[in-house]
Chain A
């Protein structure tokens, strides 16, 4: 049975705002959520942790972010269920090597891990379409683009409210783990971004 992924608004918004904050760079991060088995695997993506921008292929920041994300969410019975990535170039829809590598790594801790690739073309303008492409591994552990029905939005009105967030330049208030390392007072959990 094919796994189904549902993503909550705040997680989706964080991913998009992260990409919009650094429009000329690749960005990446982690997906946090939980798994239910009800006639197949149902994964709910509750939150997204933005990790890096620019030189996303360097390993140390992701390593530190992974460890801290696990530590931060373990009390709430939430785990790292996937990885997200936005390519540097607008028209680039290819799943990069880094995403596959990190997806594989996360897959050793949680299955079925997913990779969400931001569809940059659908961010111009943001808020007209859901700008995500879901990838999962097949029986031979190769990363494949999932069916459109495998990913759904868990909450109502994700796009309308996103338009508001973008109009208010809310990406200025979003901090990724790299931003946090520059100044630890910046909250990489982004708990107050949408309040």
Chain B
């Protein structure tokens, strides 16, 4: 199946293609792939999804409502309120008063900065169904958008007490703590994320970076292990982990830990890996990397 990079490239190409030469079926396929990948490319979705809905709606068949919802959200994201309104009308005509549509209306209020109205809707929906986790999360998003981070954190913590296996929620909480520079709590959330997804190279990387930011010899030592683990899981094109290994090793120079590989060895190895990577892919920058590592 197409990767997000491929979808991105094809949609960018469509930007250069005159409308009469565009294939609405292809656009439909690309939009479907974006829905599957949960990628946020609102400018492209609004532009091309909007075009298909306005000029070739029939081609979409049963998918039209999914596409309308997708384009609606993208339109809100880039603040094209006219397009958003058209999409909402489309869905509302066929599914008047449905919970899903009411949530879309609430999101429209959010995009307009009308927080009170949005919260009214979410509150009402939760009153009807207290397990409506989507509305719960939107409420938390509104709090965050208003800058009420402490309240957003409290609500998200409450949510996580009920839904401990929600990986996305742990990551969102980590993100909130990081925005407040509360690294210790962010680390805790990432530990939960790692428990649920131990083979994800990105989580090892994030966790290592939080430890790095906390600093101090013990944290650098531990960070180094997680950078190494990230490299183990993704050995190619993982420059971020290589830099992490290099920097934590330069801070750990001279420490002797009997069971572990001497930091000088890791320092030299990561340095060489970086130089090799740049020599291969970005030779004009090898000199800068060399200078940095000396």
For A67, the chain B residues whose CB sits under 8 A away are: 292
Contact in complex: A60, B244 (CB < 8 Å): yes
B212 CB–A CB distance under 8 Å: yes
Q: Which residues of A contact B109 (CB under 8 A)?
A: none
Contact partner of B213 (CB less than 8 A), chosen from A54, A60, A89, is: A60
Beta-carbon contact of A72 and B179 below 8 Å: no
**Does the CB pair B247–A64 fall under 8 Å?**
yes
How many Å lie between the Cα of A58 and that of B243 in the bound state? 14
Binds A, one of B24-32, B191-199, B282-290: B282-290
Residues of A within 8 A of B291 (CB): 71, 74
Q: Does A161 contact B (CB under 8 A)?
A: no
Report A11 CB to chain B, min CB distance, Å.
19
> Which chain A residues lie closer than 8 Å to B12 at the CB level?
172
B181, A98: Cβ atoms under 8 Å?
A: yes
Interface hits, A169-191 → B, CB 8 Å: 169, 172, 180-185, 187
B145 at interface, CB cutoff 8 A: yes
Question: Number of residues in B with C-beta < 8 Å to the partner?
Answer: 32
Question: With A26-B179, A67-B292, A89-B145 given, is the CB distance from A184 to B282 under 8 Å?
Answer: yes
Contact B285 A184 (CB under 8 A): yes
CA distance A59 to B206 in the complex (A): 11
B179 touching A71, Cβ below 8 Å: no
* CB of A41 within 8 Å of the partner chain: no
A188 to chain B, nearest CB (A): 9
State whether A68 touches B178 (Cβ < 8 A): no
Cβ contacts under 8 Å, B181 to chain A: 57, 97-98
Known: A55-B178, A64-B243, A64-B247. Is A72-B288 also a contact (CB below 8 A)? Answer: yes
CA distance A101 to B12 in the complex (A): 39
B145 in contact with A55 (CB, 8 Å)? no
From B205, which residue of chain A is reached at the shortest CB distance? A60
Q: Are B147 and A68 in contact (CB-based, < 8 A)? A: no
On whether A88 and B179 interact (CB within 8 A), knowing A60-B244, A181-B239, the answer reads yes
Residues of B within 8 A of A24 (CB): 77
Which residues of A81-132 have CB atoms within 8 Å of chain B's CB atoms?
A: 88-89, 92, 97-98
Complex contact B179–A58 (CB within 8 A): no
Mark interface residues in A53-80 (1 if CB within 8 Å of B CB, else 0): 0110111110110011001101000000
- One of B147, B244, B278 near A184 (C-beta < 8 A): B278
Q: Which 7 A-B pairs have the closest CB atoms?
A: A71-B291, A59-B213, A181-B240, A67-B292, A58-B209, A184-B282, A71-B288
